Amino acid sequence: MSLTLAARTRHMTSSAIREILKLTERPGVLSLAGGLPSPDSFPLDALAHASERVWRTQGAQAMQYANSEGLMPLREWIAQRVSLPQWTVRPEQVLVTTGSQQGLDLLGKVLLDPGCKLLVEQPTYLGALQAFSPYEPAFQAWRADEQGPDPLDLARMSGAYGASGQVGSDAIRAAYLVPSFQNPTGHAIGAPRRAEIAAELNAHHVTLIEDNPYGELWFDEPPPAPIAASAPHHTVYLGSLSKVLAPGLRIGYVVTPPDEAPGALDLRARLLQAKQASDLHTPGFNQRLVLQLLSDGFDLDAHVATVRQRYKAQRDAMAQALNHHLPDDCAWQVPQGGMFFWVQGPEGFDAGASLPAAVERGVAYVPGAAFYVEAPQQARRQMRLSFVTLSVEQIHEAVKRLAAHLGGEGRRAC
Ligand SMILES: Cc1ncc(COP(=O)(O)O)c(C=O)c1O
């Protein structure tokens, strides 16, 4: 008997980041590679207390199967937290998922056919490419300028101006973006560009998957409202508690369009079926733990404010270290939130090929090419640096090592 794997497995990729994380477990390596929130930011005491109460007061329910949509009180809380004066989200629109990563997979399952066009930013979140790839879409690079993804590309790719003149004949199935403090670039799309994108979604009935795990991690001012707020009928919005509370809870959510949006009820029903096939439900204990934490009076907003403060100090430290140590022919922008710097190394630098040598020097990063569907030449020079897992002192040392690796240590400093 021989074992034959499904053809779709050829489209499955392992996350370059996870492979790199293995390398960085070596003692002495200062890793700028991970995408992990700072463990110091987890409210462990409050979680321990809430956890004990869940066991004591609702242990059996927490250990029982739960419904697939998620616990209603949690859906209500999420709906309220996401809603804005201009965007009312109802609990029925919320599907609790096992991390927003599961939301991406479920959306891939219900929205994508082999060969259908999916518009993605370049570079984009690697885990989204990983989630969508087994469904074999034809990824299309979303053209961008300094403001972010080009809204006219949506119109162009919507089939509205197709060669045949037939709307929909060659249309993209959906578009995917991370609007605020993107992974990997740290870029946030401004309000005018969001409005333009929303206008094109509304005009051409394109579906947007808006993935927003970092929106609350702003440093100086909050990012503009999600695009979903201006195009609710055409946007499927994903959020997560991973970056504001703890990723180990695996609590994410999908907000589907309101009932009256064409196809919304069908999308919701299919997502639910996909979720049932995938894991039946997100662990009830974890959902109850979050609800208990909140009913114990845990102030999530105050907590997130402390996370922001911590990350901002680390962001500032990295900005200073990069400025001080990196060669002049490197380039980056200081992110206004989130967890990452996106750095372009000097001419001729190959971030992927030279990573093992960097690890030998005791520093690690994620090579930029990993975040592209088809990496352009300049991607070889790019890398993603996380600033949230190391202390301020370690950040300085890590960037010093990186500068030595790039061959430019001290050039800026002198
Ligand atoms: C842009 C983006 N989307 C989704 C996720 C998945 O987050 P989670 O599944 O923990 O909610 C991540 C994690 O790093 C991310 O960066």
DSSP string covering 338-401, please?
SSEEEEE--TT--TTTTHHHHHHTTEE-EEGGGG-SS--GGGGGEEEEE-SSS-HHHHHHHHHH
| CA 241 to ligand 1: nearest atom | 11
Return the CATH number of 64-295, one of 3.30.200.20, 3.30.70.3040, 3.40.640.10, 3.30.565.10.
Answer: 3.40.640.10
Fold of the domain built from segment(s) 7-42+301-406:
Aspartate Aminotransferase, domain 1 (3.90.1150)
123 CB near ligand 1 (under 6 Å): no
240 touches ligand 1 (CB under 6 Å):
yes
Q: Is the CB of 247 under 6 A from ligand 1?
A: yes
Which residue out of 132, 180, 210, 211 has the highest number of ligand 1 atoms within 8 Å of its CB and is therefore the one to mutate? 211
pLDDT tens-place string over residues 324-376:
999 999 999 999 999 999 999 999 999 999 998 999 999 999 999 989 998 89
**Would you say the CB of residue 99 lies under 6 angstroms from ligand 1?**
yes
Q: Tens digits of per-residue pLDDT, 251-263? A: 999 999 999 999 9
Structure tokens at 253: 């959510």
Q: What residue's CA is closest to ligand 1, atom 16?
A: 183
Whether ligand 1 lies within 6 angstroms of the CB of 178 is answered as yes
Alpha carbon of 128 to ligand 1 centroid (Å)? 8
* CB 127 less than 6 A from any atom of ligand 1: yes
- Mean pLDDT of the region 390-394: 95
| pLDDT score for 2 | 83
Show me where the domains of the chain are located.
7-42+301-406, 64-295
- Rounded to two decimals, the pTM is 0.94
How far, in Å, from the CA of 389 to the mean position of ligand 1?
Answer: 16
Rounded CA-CA distance 243/145 in Å is: 28
Report how far residue 294's alpha carbon sits from residue 13's, in angstroms, rounded to the nearest whole number: 38
Distance 7 CA to ligand 1 centre (A): 27
Does the pLDDT of residue 265 top 80, yes or no? yes
287 lines ligand 1 (CB under 6 A): no
**Cα gap 280→297, rounded to integer Å:** 30
What is d(CA 33, CA 37) in angstroms, rounded to the nearest whole number? 12
- Distance (Å, whole) CA 269 – CA 250: 22
* pLDDT tens figures, 27-66: 899 999 988 888 889 999 999 999 999 999 999 999 999 9
Instruction: Tell me the residue type at 9.
Output: T
The average confidence (pLDDT) of the chain is 93
Quick one: pLDDT at residue 1?
A: 67
